[in-house]
Amino acid sequence: MKRDLHARSLHAVRGYIFDIDGTLALGDSSLNGYQALPGAIETLDLLETRNIPYVAFTNGSTKTPQQLSQALVKAGLRIDAERTLTPVSIALHLFRRKKYRRLLVLGGEGVWRPLVEAGFDVVRSPDRADDAQAVLIGWHPTFALADVDAACRAVWAGADLYTVSTAPYVASRDGRTLGISGALSAAVRSVTGKRATIVGKPSQEALKVACARLGAAPQEVAIVGDDPSLENAMALRGGALSVGVHTGLSSAADFAGLPHGQRPHYSLSGVQQLLEMIR
């Protein structure tokens, strides 16, 4: 009876937000060379057949949405760029609303290029931009002291501070991979005292943008992910259905060990089990 109740509520979902790393696929420690996880391709195919919209949302910022789409397609996950979201996708919406013009960016092409293409005046660290209105920290594996210095000086001069994520690590085929943006954000905060605003998961701004892409309200959406502090937290705070999977950072025991009220609505072995439940 309990399984039937679960199945009915899942079948009522009008849109899905899928995490990528540890949920739909796993990459290497550089977050490249994706391999689809069991059931991922078939689940997306089923949603296509039923005309149920979905987006693939990563907290990674190594790639632009277009580059991310291409990498996923190579792994057999036919997800076009309009269905891929990164934290920079959220930053674009937020920065436009804030009417920022000049930005200092710490990060690679996946961080700065979408902002440049959107018309922002972007300065890339280690170049300084003490007159920047905002600083955005993203995936920056080649960072050096000069990058941190540039960010701190901009913040001291009055810039708002943002980061794609403060997660300490992400899932990969090699296990846990360092969350560089979180480490850099912590470094800048330790010097300036300024806490970075998160633009990626689990921010409610991120949920708002993802739901707008789906054309559905949060209460009509299921969020599927492997991280209790990211996808699960975003879902529960926003009133969405939370589906935790055990193919990435967290096990069934990890989800079960969460306090009451912080556990996902469903704790599944992976998207393969989700597929079986919604068929």
Pairing of strands 221-225, 175-178: unpaired
Question: CA 166 from chain center: how many Å?
Answer: 11
CATH code at 99-198:
3.40.50.1000
Residue 8: pLDDT over 60: no
Contact yes or no for 27/172 (Cβ under 8 A): yes
Encode pLDDT of 134-148 as tens digits: 999 999 999 999 999
Count of beta carbons in the 10 Å neighbourhood of residue 197: 16
How far, in Å, are 45, 85, 114 from residue 52 at the CA level? Answer: 10, 17, 27
Q: What is the reported pLDDT for 95? A: 98
So what's the architecture of 2-87+201-278 in CATH?
A: 3-Layer(aba) Sandwich (3.40)
Question: In degrees rounded to 5, what are phi and psi of residue 192?
Answer: -100, -20
Show the tokens assigned to 234: 């975003």
The DSSP code for 232 is I
Q: What is the reported pLDDT for 128? A: 97
Q: What is the mean pLDDT of residues 179-195?
A: 94
Residue 172: pLDDT over 80: no
pLDDT band at 88 (very low <50, low <70, confident <90, very high): very high
Residue 5: pLDDT over 50: no
What pTM did the predictor assign? Answer: 0.91
Show the tokens assigned to 246: 């055990």
Contact yes or no for 19/58 (Cβ under 8 A): yes
Residue in the block written with tokens 């393969």: 272
Domain(s) labelled CATH 3.40.50.1000 in the chain stretch across: 2-87+201-278, 99-198
